[in-house]
Structure 1
Amino acid sequence: MSDTGVARLDELWRRGREFLGTRYAIMGGAMTWVSERNLVAAISNGGGFGVIACGSMTPELLDAEITATRALTDKPFGVNLITMHPQLDDLIDVCRRQRVSHVVLAGGLPPGKAIEAIKSFDAKLVCFAPALALAKKLVRSGVDAIVIEGSEAGGHIGPVSTAVLAQEILPNMTDVPVFVAGGIGRGEAVKMYLEMGASGVQLGTRFVCATESVAHPNFKKAFIRGNARDAVASVQLDKRFPVIPVRALANAATEKFMDAQRDVLARHQAGELDQGAAQLEIEHFWAGALRRAVVDGDVESGSLMAGQSVGLVKSEQPTAEIIAELVEQAAAALDQR
């Protein structure tokens, strides 16, 4: 890795680095039960930008998590909030009182009230956009940066690949920094998206097996054993009963979910369940499944949310080493131009 490659890389993601206040424009994806104080602080201490996954936390728990993260790092980090959280206003107020510098809103179109509240305490607001039209609408609403995340990502996904989203949005969205996510596991991919116009990248799956990650050893072993084809999207059997697409490693629960849908459909056809009750049973199948896998290590009945880049996770590594590896690969690729 030459000084030329490093200098070129610094220039390519300068806008992202300045927006985040970090050495590298590498955001950590907010993964529920994984992206907590230890991993978030490790990513920030390694030169990246850690993001706390609030998930279903209460305001009190989020307040404690932010405080605990600050005890582990003096570097910038952000907080990811789910727009559908019933206490969203209170969570935003926690971020205000804690003087959080960056808030990421995920899980749907952010309410105007939430945007106003976040902007009122001068935090930088980041939102996800699955299409160019929505990205432009968000920017008009006051959003400071956009993340575009393709279907290769783990967890809840949209229908369009990262490569296509990047081609659609990056050339046409220059008003604010745009970070690319989904399927990124090596520095060469980072370099490619930066040259296409991205200000930085976001990675989740690559950090699950970080040494500092508190994910259960069984969960990490499943990632290290997994390959891209193992990370599959959940299947919907009947369009009358929508299934939110989630990408995860196939396991026994994946098959049970298919059986559960068949059973619910049969009972609905027989008149035993009305449509509302049937939909509720399908939606409740995965309740608590992510926690069972990540925290308890139940990799058979739990949900192993993972992106297709899981095949690039070969071992458990310190977070700083993962980040340094990504940077070195990106700079080396730029050297070869």
Structure 2
Amino acid sequence: MTNPTLTTLMARGSAFLGCDAAILCGAMSWVSERHLVSAISNAGAFGVIACGAMTPALLDAEIAATRALTDKPFGVNLITMHPQLFDLIEVCANHDVSHIVLAGGLPPKGSIEAIKQKGAKLLCFAPALSLAKKLVKSGVDALIVEGMEAGGHIGPVATSVLAQEILPEMAQQVPVFVAGGIGRGEAIAAYLEMGAAGVQLGTRFACATESIAHPNFKKAFFRASARDAIASVQIDPRLPVIPVRALKNAGTEAFTAKQREVAALLDSGALDMGAAQLQIEHYWAGALRRAVIDGDVEGGSLMAGQSVGMVTREEPVADIIAALMTEAAGALAKRAA
């Protein structure tokens, strides 16, 4: 079901991404790989490869494999603290990747120029209005405003608050995509009406038929309700630990222990702050892999947003996108009537 109002509201985001539906798939480590990414792009939305802790060689292979499965545009999500960030940017440039999403804080010196040199469009996360302004001034092409309801690494402010704060100020300047806790089309319609160019969803796609996530991982999502997706606790204020939202399990407790271990290494001088942060990142990459790939839903990390309660069964990506668009169109039609 298409709706002219929905098409108009999404036009800017769709044009920016080069796809029919201005819906980005959030980059989920181990989940957002060639199969899910190509399926999302083929269905008319916009897939994003989660580079995470990949080496340049692994990313190179992943982009090539995704290209073999789709001729539609897709993006790559890179993490600012990756020690080989500039090599990864080069890999993306060699493949003519059209869009790069930079996550994990302010882009390091020279990275924005390196990305845009080859004509790629750059999207960055803006967890506050002041940062949104700074990013746009430094040449970022679009913003993703992600609230604390999201899965994985999160900030402290709710999506609805960030959207109200940032959209009126920034939506005229650059396309702004809203993310965090979105599970249905009615919410998409509301954010588009507020001035968003589009939205980003992760949790809703994690259990798609095309997702390679282990059946145990998917079952854990189907059983969970919104309140089961909790934010991790920061043990030591010195540790640059960005809270992570995941389903509560033994892995949640293990992360608390890991932080204590890293804090002790900091105390003894065995680690500096950069190495400490990297240890934490590598911990997450390993814990996620255990859950997503190996199906260890007790010891692994089940990163999920609070929209997890709306994920109740396995369904093809195309059906998820069609349902979201139908719900959004329906909401807009009701308001018009």
- What aligned pairs does 1:115-154 form with structure 2 within 5 A after superposition? 115-154=112-151
Q: 1:180 aligns with which of 168, 175, 178?
A: 178
Judge conservation of contact 2:251–2:287 (CA < 8 Å) in 1. Answer: no
In the TM superposition, what is the alpha-carbon distance from 1:285 to its structure 2 partner?
5.8
Provide, for residues 65-118 of structure 1, a one-character-per-residue CA deviation record: whole Å limited to 9, x for no partner: 111111111111011111111111111111111111111111111123111011
Q: How does 1:17-28 map to 2 (within 5 A)?
A: 17-28=14-25
CA distance in 2, matches of 1:205, 1:132: 25
Aligned with residue 196 of structure 1, among 175, 179, 194? 194
Q: For residue 302 of structure 2, give the secondary structure of its aligned residue in structure 1.
A: coil
The 2-side partners of 1:202 and 1:274 are apart by: 39
Residues 244-286 of structure 1, C-alpha deviation per residue, up to 9 Å, x if partnerless? 3100000122234446667898xx6xxx993656995994765
Asked whether the 8 Å contact 1:234–1:243 carries over to 2, the reply is: no
Listed as ranges, the matches of 1:212-223 within 5 Å are: 212-223=210-221
Pairwise CA distance, 1:185: 0.4
User: Where does the alignment leave 5 or more consecutive residues of structure 1 unmatched?
Assistant: none
Q: Are 2:152 and 1:155 equivalent residues in the alignment?
A: yes
Q: Which letter does structure 2 place at the counterpart of 1:161?
A: A
**Which secondary structure state, in structure 2, belongs to the residue aligned with residue 130 of structure 1?**
coil
Map of 2:322 onto structure 1: 324
- 1:239 matched to which residue of 2? 237
Separation of aligned partners in 2, 1:324 and 1:109: 35
Task: Give the number of aligned pairs.
Answer: 329
Counterparts in 2 of 1:1-337, with a 5 A limit? Answer: 1=1, 6-173=3-170, 174-239=172-237, 243-258=241-256, 274=267, 276=269, 283=280, 286=284, 288-337=286-335
Distance 1:72 1:228, change over 3 A: same
Q: CA deviation at 1:211?
A: 0.3
Is the contact made by 2:52 and 2:285 (CA closer than 8 Å) also made in structure 1? Answer: no
CA-CA distance at 1:161 after TM superposition: 0.6
Q: Please, which runs of 5 or more residues in structure 2 have no aligned partner?
A: none
Answer whether contact 1:78 1:104 (CA < 8 A) is retained.
yes
For 2:206, give the aligned amino acid.
Answer: V
> Match for 1:274: what amino acid?
D
Q: CA RMSD in A?
A: 2.1
For 1:221, give the aligned amino acid.
K
State the SS of the aligned residue for 2:303.
coil
Aligned letter for 1:310? V
User: C-alpha separation between the residues in 1 aligned to 2:121 and 2:96?
Assistant: 11
Q: Which segment drifts farther, 136-145 or 201-210?
A: 136-145
